[in-house]
Amino acid sequence: MPPKPTKFDRNLVVIGAGAGGLVSAYIAAAVKAKVTLVEGHKMGGDCLNFGCVPSKALIRSAKLAKQIGKAESLGLRNASGTVDFAAVMARVHRVIADIEPHDSVERYSSLGVDVVQGHAKITSPWSVDIERNDGGRQTLTTKHIVVAAGARPFVPPIPGLQDVGFLTSDTLWGLTELPRRLVVLGGGPIGCELAQSFARLGSQVTQVEMLPRVMSREDPEVSDLVAESLRADGVTLLTGHAAVRAERDGEVRRLVVKQGDAERAIEFDVLLCAVGRTPRTEGYGLEELGVALTPRKTIQTDEYLRTSVPNIFAVGDVAGPFQFTHTAAHQAWYAAVNALFGRFKKFKADYSVIPWATFTDPEVARVGLSETEAKEKKIPFEVTRYGLDDLDRAIADGTAHGWVKVLTVPGKDRILGVTIVGEHAGDLLAEYVLAMKWGLGLNKILGTIHTYPTLAEANKYAAGEWKRAHAPQTLLKWVEKYHAWERS
List, for residues 290-309, the tens digit of each pLDDT value. 999 999 999 999 999 999 99
Both 137 and 286 in one domain: the answer is yes
pLDDT of 477 reads 87
**Nearest Cα to Cα of residue 139 among 153, 156, 118:** 118
For the cut 90, the answer to whether the pLDDT of residue 83 exceeds it is yes
Both 246 and 128 in one domain: the answer is no
What is the tens place of the pLDDT at every residue in 409-447?
999 999 999 999 999 999 999 999 999 999 999 999 999
pLDDT of 183 reads 98
Both 145 and 284 in one domain: the answer is yes
Burial of 181 (0-12, 13-18, 19+ CB in 10 A): middle
For the chain, the C-alpha Rg in angstroms (whole number) is 26
Assigned domain for 415 exists: yes
Assigned domain for 259 exists: yes
Give the pLDDT mean for 178-194: 97
Paired with 130 in beta bridges are: 120, 138
For the cut 80, the answer to whether the pLDDT of residue 283 exceeds it is yes
Distance between CA 23 and CA 12 in Å, rounded? 13
pLDDT-derived band at 375, boundaries 50, 70, 90 = very high
Both 36 and 147 in one domain: the answer is yes
Among 249, 276, 303, the domain-final residue is 276
For the cut 90, the answer to whether the pLDDT of residue 63 exceeds it is yes
pLDDT of 4 reads 87
Q: What angle do CA 402, 406, 409 make, to 5 degrees?
A: 165
**Are the beta carbons of 39 and 146 closer than 8 angstroms?**
no
Assigned domain for 120 exists: yes
Both 169 and 229 in one domain: the answer is yes
pLDDT-derived band at 480, boundaries 50, 70, 90 = confident
Both 283 and 272 in one domain: the answer is no
Distance between CA 129 and CA 108 in Å, rounded? 21
pLDDT of 3 reads 81
Both 271 and 283 in one domain: the answer is no
pTM above 0.85, yes or no: yes
Both 36 and 129 in one domain: the answer is yes
Distance between CA 186 and CA 167 in Å, rounded? 13
**Are the beta carbons of 421 and 456 closer than 8 angstroms?**
no
Both 263 and 234 in one domain: the answer is yes
What is the tens place of the pLDDT at every residue in 305-362?
999 999 999 999 999 899 899 999 999 999 999 999 999 999 999 998 999 999 999 9
**Are the beta carbons of 448 and 460 closer than 8 angstroms?**
yes
Assigned domain for 81 exists: no
Assigned domain for 88 exists: no
**Are the beta carbons of 315 and 148 closer than 8 angstroms?**
yes
What is the tens place of the pLDDT at every residue in 123-178?
999 999 999 999 999 999 999 999 999 999 999 999 999 999 999 999 999 999 99
Domain count, the chain: 3
pLDDT-derived band at 474, boundaries 50, 70, 90 = confident
* CATH number of the domain residue 460 falls in: 3.30.390.30
pLDDT-derived band at 24, boundaries 50, 70, 90 = very high
Distance between CA 49 and CA 57 in Å, rounded? 12
Assigned domain for 178 exists: yes
Both 261 and 201 in one domain: the answer is yes
Distance between CA 123 and CA 24 in Å, rounded? 21
CA torsion 462-366-390-361 (nearest 10°) is 170
pLDDT-derived band at 482, boundaries 50, 70, 90 = confident
3 state SS of 8: coil
How would you classify the pairing of strands 270-273 and 167-168?
parallel
How would you classify the pairing of strands 35-39 and 10-15?
parallel
Both 148 and 282 in one domain: the answer is yes
pLDDT of 479 reads 85
Both 19 and 146 in one domain: the answer is yes
pLDDT of 217 reads 94
* CATH number of the domain residue 138 falls in: 3.50.50.60
pLDDT-derived band at 473, boundaries 50, 70, 90 = confident
DSSP H or E run through 374: helix 371-376
What are the backbone angles phi and psi of residue 99, rounded to the nearest 5°?
Answer: -90, -20
Domain span at residue 436 reads 362-469
Question: For the chain, what percent of residues have pLDDT higher than 70?
Answer: 100
Assigned domain for 60 exists: no
Among 276, 300, 318, the domain-final residue is 276
Among 276, 295, 316, the domain-final residue is 276
Give the pLDDT mean for 224-234: 97
**Nearest Cα to Cα of residue 198 among 69, 61, 96:** 61
Assigned domain for 356 exists: no
Give the pLDDT mean for 281-289: 94
